[in-house]
Amino acid sequence: MGDAQNGLETWGELVRSARAAHPQAAFYVMAGDLVNWGERRDDWDLLFHNARGVYDTRPLVAAIGNHEVDEGHADLYVAQFDLPRNGPDGIEPERVYSMEYSDALFVVLDSNLEPEPQVEWLDQTLGASEATWKFVVFHHPLYSPRPGDRGQPELKAAWTPVFEKHGVDLVLTGDDHAYMRSHPLRGDQVMESPADGPIYILSVAGTKMYGQEDAPYVARRFTDIATYQVIDIEGGRLEYTSYDIDGQVMDAFSVEK
């Protein structure tokens, strides 16, 4: 899921409908801005209350968004989660980490921090893993068709060559409050096959929405619809499906290896 952040009661309906429709999900991934006020306990209580029956039964794999950071610190976020402490030296533990589940590697980066100090660790972590499937999760999208695109040129320059080098499959982000799936991309160019470059996903799970316009890298986009995504892996086949709150399929594709 992308940002919950606002409208946590409506978001709660979305996440509980995800749980009901896909009870086999082993864990939940959120790409930052879980809440609007990351330094306020009330907001977190609202998040977990609305995810009752879901986040008390399955792990939550979270990335840090800008709303979890206050003057550079993410104290309450770090204090309340118990995330892997295997990130780069020199970065506060739990802000950047990796985990493997079955044959899939998830690397969680912190796009609020400078990208360069995460590069060497990212390169080593992706290179050392023998997982068939590799996913990277962080908050700020490297590709976003938002009008007047805010862009993330520094993050993109630092990280995309590493994603491409190690065959990252999906890059999962949020922040721009809309839905977008890119074509496979390599060096900013559209590739035919997912084998040739990562697919970049931007999504939103809450009620705050922004507009979009066309861009050459877009494979599918829509606005004003909160979604959750299911990633289903069976050996060398990955099926990705995006659902709205009513369980309607909004986007789907598969990848074979």
Binding site for Fe ion (CB under 5 A): 33, 65-66, 175
Q: Are 155 and 142 in contact (CB under 8 A)?
A: yes
The least distance separating Fe ion from the CB of residue 5, rounded to whole angstroms, comes to 7
Q: Which is nearer to Fe ion, 6 or 66 (CB)?
A: 66
Q: At what angle do helices 8-21 and 41-50 cross, to 10 degrees?
A: 30
The least distance separating Fe ion from the CB of residue 65, rounded to whole angstroms, comes to 5
Which residues in 75-225 belong to E strands, given as ranges? 97-101, 104-108, 133-137, 170-173, 179-182, 185-186, 189-190, 199-202, 218-222
Q: Which is nearer to Fe ion, 10 or 66 (CB)?
A: 66
The least distance separating Fe ion from the CB of residue 33, rounded to whole angstroms, comes to 4
The least distance separating Fe ion from the CB of residue 139, rounded to whole angstroms, comes to 6
The least distance separating Fe ion from the CB of residue 67, rounded to whole angstroms, comes to 6
Q: Which is nearer to Fe ion, 175 or 251 (CB)?
A: 175
Q: Which is nearer to Fe ion, 33 or 169 (CB)?
A: 33
Beta-carbon count within 10 A of 16 CB? 16
Cβ partners under 8 Å of residue 117, min gap 6 = 88, 90, 91
Residues β-bridged to residue 204: 3
The least distance separating Fe ion from the CB of residue 256, rounded to whole angstroms, comes to 33
Side by side, the strands of the sheet bearing 249-256 are 228-234, 237-243, 249-256
Cβ-closest residue to Fe ion?
Answer: 175
Q: Give the span between the Cα atoms of 248 and 257, in whole angstroms.
A: 27
Q: Which is nearer to Fe ion, 65 or 87 (CB)?
A: 65
Cβ burial 101-111 (10 Å sphere, 16+ → b, else e): eeebbbbbbbb
Q: Which is nearer to Fe ion, 10 or 241 (CB)?
A: 10
Q: Give the span between the Cα atoms of 87 and 109, in whole angstroms.
A: 9
